[in-house]
Structure 1
Amino acid sequence: MQARAYVRGITMSPRKMRVVANLVRGKSVEAAVGMLDLMPKKAAGLISKAIKSAAANAEDKSGGDASVEDLRIHTIAVDGGPIAKRWMPRSMGRANRVNHRTSHLTVVVTDEA
């Protein structure tokens, strides 16, 4: 059985999130959460929270039959969200655009081997 968790509008660039997401892809939920809790990156906390949410969704969906020990990360995807465009004044009357990127995170866990 599969369960999903979505986190949308994360204020972090997808490129930075993917570095952490690639490290936990395919791992068991326990191993992934243990790894992420020791990682000194902002993305690690956000991804860990999403994985725990997906595991809780799996347990709820199965009526309490699914245990966290059996679950593994089937899919983890980081997609780009809306970009907030801002202007930064520069010298001689010019301005440069600053893009504040956001991310959408999708985590799918499964109990199948």
Structure 2
Amino acid sequence: MGARKRIKANQIKEENKSKAFASLRNVPTSPRKMRLVTDMVRGMEVNRALDVLRFSPKEASNRVEKLLLSAIANWQAKNEGQRIEESALYVKEISVDSARILKRLRPAPQGRAHRIKKRSNHVTILLGSKTAETDSTKE
């Protein structure tokens, strides 16, 4: 690794230490189905997003709910002494990226076979605090 890459990598690591995020990798659900769930909670306040995910009938909502709880725990570890209600915590960014695709064969008539793609995805949640952002804009 060259010097510029190492410096940039260390800079990115330092920036990530101040952010509260969580990521879920290789989820065996298609990215399209997962995006339907993540689009519901993007930009929502954290407690409201948890309620929406808890009562959603989609299977992917269980995984996103668990990931959101993990992101909240990460935020609490970085901001000890602060309460979620007072900081107005919300889902700042949530992204779904495509992961590996497992290629399988399904038997078809007359000795043929059809290829099936079993898709999976990566989900990343970044939390933000509305009170911290308003404090930084006042300065």
Conserved in 2, the CA contact under 8 Å of 1:58 and 1:66?
no
Structure 1 unaligned regions, length at least 5: none
Instruction: Report how far residue 61 of structure 1 moved.
Output: 1.1
Higher-Rg member (1/2): 2
Match of 1:20 in 2: 37
Instruction: Report how far residue 93 of structure 1 moved.
Output: 1.5
Matched to 2:107, the amino acid is P
Q: Distance in 2 between matches of 1:66 and 1:52?
A: 16
After TM superposition, the score normalised by the length of structure 1 is 0.93
Written as runs of structure 1 = structure 2, the 5 A alignment for 1:1-113 is 2-62=19-79, 64-69=80-85, 70-112=88-130, 113=133
Structure 2 unaligned regions, length at least 5: 1-17, 134-139
Following TM superposition, where does structure 1 have runs of at least 4 consecutive aligned residues deviating by more than 3 angstroms? none
State which drifts further: 36-45 or 64-73.
Answer: 64-73
Structure (1 or 2) with the greater helix fraction: 2
Higher relative contact order, structure no. (Cα contacts within 8 Å, ≥ 6 residues apart): 1
TM-align CA RMSD = 1.2
The count of corresponding residues between Structure 1 and Structure 2 is 112
Instruction: Report how far residue 28 of structure 1 moved.
Output: 0.7
